[in-house]
Structure 1
Amino acid sequence: MKGIQYSIWIEAEHWAEGEWNIHDDNTDVIVTFEDGTRWIASFFTYKNIHTLAQKNQQTGECLRGKYFWGSDMVLVDECSRNRIEEVINHLILKGDFEVIFECVEDNMGE
């Protein structure tokens, strides 16, 4: 798979300055390949899962923090661009990318 061209869009990079905490956050990531196909996944830090569970215990969400789920979830130690790129490259090389990311269907024109 060497030589595959793609771009990576990270939602958190478009937030206001200082809102992105790479150690305790989550962000959607879209990978667009040169053939135009787009794939999405949500990256969560391990710490962010704990933070969200604590918040849910207080707010009552998810049975007061008794469960948590996220579609197309990828857990990482940090949510930085470098780590996200590293994980995506690894998943492509190992052949796991299409198992973890979900293909985005464009419904424009319907």
Structure 2
Amino acid sequence: MFLPNADEDLELGDNIDVFVNLKDGSRWSATIIILAQVEILMKRWAASGEALGGRYFWCSDGLIVRDAGISNMTQVLAGLIETGEFTQILQRLDD
């Protein structure tokens, strides 16, 4: 998970938990992770034996994107909201 300090570059984030509050009052969550970070994790798990030796990656509200950074991830989220696809990808939080 990317928890930046005040002096960290937000465009380097590669694994971020997000909460989305929409105007209709609904709340949504996702774990956004870049494809390269998934590969790193799976290689690490292959060595440690986790996740059946790194043979799979799973998270309940996962969204894999190609590029790192808050601005890229925000653009992806905005696009999903515009198209309405976010309801199939993000996890709705109980009101």
Shorter-chain TM-score tier: 0.7 to 0.9
Match of 1:36, SS state, is coil
Distance 1:21 1:48, change over 3 A: farther
**Matched residue type, 1:101:** L
CA distance in 2, matches of 1:27, 1:90: 17
Partner of 2:31: 42
Q: CA deviation at 1:71?
A: 1.5
Q: Structure 2 length as normaliser, TM-score?
A: 0.81
Separation (CA, whole Å) in 2 of partners of 1:58 and 1:21: 29
Match of 2:83 in 1: 94
- SS state of the match for residue 12, structure 2? coil
- Larger CA Rg, structure 1 vs 2: 1
Bigger proportion of residues as helix: 2
User: Structure 1: where are the runs of 5+ without partners?
Assistant: 1-10
Query: Structure 2: which 5+ residue stretches go unaligned?
Result: none
1:22 aligns with 2:31: no
Which of structure 1's runs of 4+ aligned residues deviate more than 6 A? none
Shift of 1:21: 7.6
* Larger RCO: 1 or 2 (CA < 8 Å, sep 6+): 2
Rounded Cα–Cα distance in structure 1 between residues aligned with 2:12 and 2:27:
24
**For 1:15 and 1:71, how far apart are their aligned partners in 2?**
23
Q: Residues 57-90 of structure 1, C-alpha deviation per residue, up to 9 Å, x if partnerless? A: 1111011111111112211122311111111111
1:37–1:28: structure 2 CA closer, same or farther, 3 Å change rule? Answer: same
What is the TM-score when the length of structure 1 is the normalising length? Answer: 0.72
Q: Which moved more, 1:77-86 or 1:55-64?
A: 77-86
For 2:53, which of 56, 61, 64 is the aligned residue?
64
